[in-house]
Amino acid sequence: MITEKQYMEQNENPEDRIYEIKKFINELENVQTFYYNQLLLELNLNSEADDYLFDYIYNEDYKFTFDEYLKKLGKSYKNFNENNKQK
């Protein structure tokens, strides 16, 4: 446990700073999740696309577009769009 004697530069307890940063990171996660879910809705993608989009956004380099990423995997964007769904 961090003791009261272990204060930071501005006389701030490290536990307070840790909590502050933890809270901020959790808030960022909520914003991130909101934007990601909005994107799924806006693009009108089916549920299978979620895995690919998630992997692309969080794990892929910026050098590829989403369409290029899908092509590397033998997939196509139009297969995931609900508007292109066969009736």
Q: Give phi and psi for 45, each to the nearest 5.
A: -90, 150
Instruction: Give the pLDDT of residue 77.
Output: 83
pLDDT in tens, 2-49: 555 555 667 778 898 899 999 999 999 999 999 999 998 899 888 888
Mean pLDDT value of segment 67-71: 93
Give me 20's structure tokens.
Answer: 């502050």
CA dist list (Å): 17 to 13, 29, 30, 54 = 7, 18, 20, 31
Q: Give phi and psi for 81, each to the nearest 5.
A: -85, 125
Name which residue leads in pLDDT, 82 or 65: 65
Instruction: Give the pLDDT of residue 81.
Output: 79
What's this model's pTM, rounded to 2 decimal places? 0.70
| Secondary structure class of 51 (helix, strand, coil) | helix
